[in-house]
């Protein structure tokens, strides 16, 4: 995709914005500095209207084109929040907030949308209205939902929204896009196991929660390979396993947590059902008890075909 000359001219500014945001990461809805930074830049660019505090800390800018005959009101969206990760790589713009890091690229998303806002506000060479949407709490907080539920779409008359996500590994200037399911539903789960603790030298008098958890983890990993249609897609990942505090004590309890990713509602239902069965029956097989707290979070991201083809044409 060729880069517009005017945008290339302020590439260094976009880089500076991104590095400033990267150095000051904030979590979920607590993106007050980032939101203020965004609002100040939009003011500098001369956008027609700036609204703050939407969805708690979201920011929206309105940019009207030279013409209005089309009646189109198109939203362009970026997310602003970071992750609770400690940055260990040394660089001049390393995170100044210990334990927080822009590890998912939202600093880049915000900087890119600011660059687009600057160009659109300068040129206004389009028919309709552009709404730039800066969302908080993408990383599990549902910030986009909050903004929508506060009436953002109706307030600004938005009829369609476009967003993008960086993907390390793609060649510079390349885009990956398709109609339909594009990014998976993201669910979380918490499994608590209770056995019977005791001395490690007397396992026959115990119900080893760690052993139960290990078997449960293996069984959970079989759901995708043995229960889900191979033509479909799913991921079940156990990402934490905590049991015990001493080398010579069999633990009374254990906890497993993780994530499930699916690309269809039917597979999502199937995986959740099978997880409940696996957890219950694996625990019972060893005389333990277990509970599964399965939490549904973001649904599948499904791209509308017409808008997807349009976006692909623009990127080509």
Closest CA to 45 of 55, 59, 31, 58: 59
How far apart CA 5 and CA 30 sit, in angstroms, is 36
Secondary structure element (H or E) that encloses residue 183, with its range: strand 180-183
How long is the chain? Answer: 316
* CATH tag for 5-176 (out of 3.40.630.10, 3.30.230.10, 3.30.300.130, 3.40.50.2300): 3.40.630.10
Q: What is the rounded radius of gyration, in angstroms, for the C-alpha atoms of the chain?
A: 24
How far apart CA 1 and CA 56 sit, in angstroms, is 36
Helices then strands (H, E): number in the chain? Answer: 10, 13
Q: Is the pTM of this model over 0.75?
A: yes
242: β partners: 255
User: Does the fold of domain 183-298 match that of domain 5-176?
Assistant: no
How far apart CA 147 and CA 58 sit, in angstroms, is 7
> What's the sign of the alpha-carbon dihedral 94, 84, 54, 33?
negative
Residue 173: predicted pLDDT: 84
Helical spans, DSSP H, in 166-231: 209-220, 222-226
Q: What b/e sequence results for 129-144 when a residue is b if at least 16 CB atoms lie within 10 Å of its CB, and e otherwise?
A: bbbbbbbbbbbebbbb
Low-confidence ranges of the chain (pLDDT < 50): none
Residue 3: predicted pLDDT: 64
How far apart CA 193 and CA 285 sit, in angstroms, is 13
How far apart CA 207 and CA 141 sit, in angstroms, is 38
Distances in Å between the Cα of 204 and the Cα atoms of 198, 207, 224, 281, 285 are 9, 8, 33, 20, 15
Long-range contacts formed by 161-165: CB under 8 A, 24+ apart: 161/74, 161/75, 161/76, 161/77, 161/133, 162/74, 162/75, 162/76, 162/77, 162/307, 162/311, 163/76, 163/77, 163/78, 164/109, 164/112, 165/105, 165/109
Domain ranges of the chain: 5-176, 183-298
Secondary structure element (H or E) that encloses residue 129, with its range: strand 129-135
Distances in Å between the Cα of 278 and the Cα atoms of 209, 216, 241 are 15, 7, 17
The CATH number given to 183-298 is 3.30.70.360
The 10 Å Cβ neighbour count of residue 17 is: 22
Residue 5: predicted pLDDT: 85
Closest CA to 119 of 19, 2, 9, 1: 9
Helical spans, DSSP H, in the chain: 5-9, 11-23, 32-45, 106-123, 143-149, 152-156, 209-220, 222-226, 265-285, 305-315
């Amino acid at each position: 995709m060729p880069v517009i000359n005017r945008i290339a001219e302020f590439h260094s500014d976009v880089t500076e914005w991104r590095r400033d945001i990267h150095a000051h990461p904030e979590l979920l809805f607590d993106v007050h500095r980032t939101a203020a930074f965004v609002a100040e830049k939009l003011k500098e660019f001369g956008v027609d209207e700036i609204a703050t505090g939407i969805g708690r800390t979201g920011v929206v800018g309105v940019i009207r084109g030279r013409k209005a005959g089309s009646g189109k009101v198109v939203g362009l969206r970026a997310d602003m929040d970071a992750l609770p990760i400690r940055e260990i790589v040394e660089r001049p713009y390393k995170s100044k907030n210990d334990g927080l890091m822009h590890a998912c690229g939202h600093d880049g998303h915000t900087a890119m949308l600011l660059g687009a806002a600057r160009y659109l506000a300068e040129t206004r060479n389009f028919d309709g209205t552009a709404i730039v949407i800066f969302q908080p709490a993408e990383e599990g907080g549902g910030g986009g939902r909050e903004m929508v539920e506060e009436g953002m779409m109706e307030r600004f008359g938005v009829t369609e929204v476009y967003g993008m996500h960086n993907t390390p590994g793609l060649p510079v200037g390349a885009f990956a896009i398709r109609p339909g399911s594009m990014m998976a539903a993201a669910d979380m789960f918490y499994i608590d196991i209770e056995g019977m603790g005791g001395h490690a030298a007397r396992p026959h008098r115990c119900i080893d929660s760690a052993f139960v958890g290990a078997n449960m983890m293996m069984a959970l990993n079989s759901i995708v390979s043995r229960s889900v249609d191979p033509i479909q897609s799913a991921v079940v990942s156990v990402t934490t396993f905590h049991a015990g505090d001493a080398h010579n004590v069999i633990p009374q309890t254990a906890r497993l947590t993780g994530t499930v990713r699916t690309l269809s509602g039917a597979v999502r239902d199937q995986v959740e059902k099978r997880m409940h069965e696996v957890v219950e029956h694996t625990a019972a097989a060893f005389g333990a008890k277990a509970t599964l707290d399965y939490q549904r979070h973001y649904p599948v991201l499904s791209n509308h075909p017409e808008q997807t083809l349009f976006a692909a044409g623009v990127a080509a």
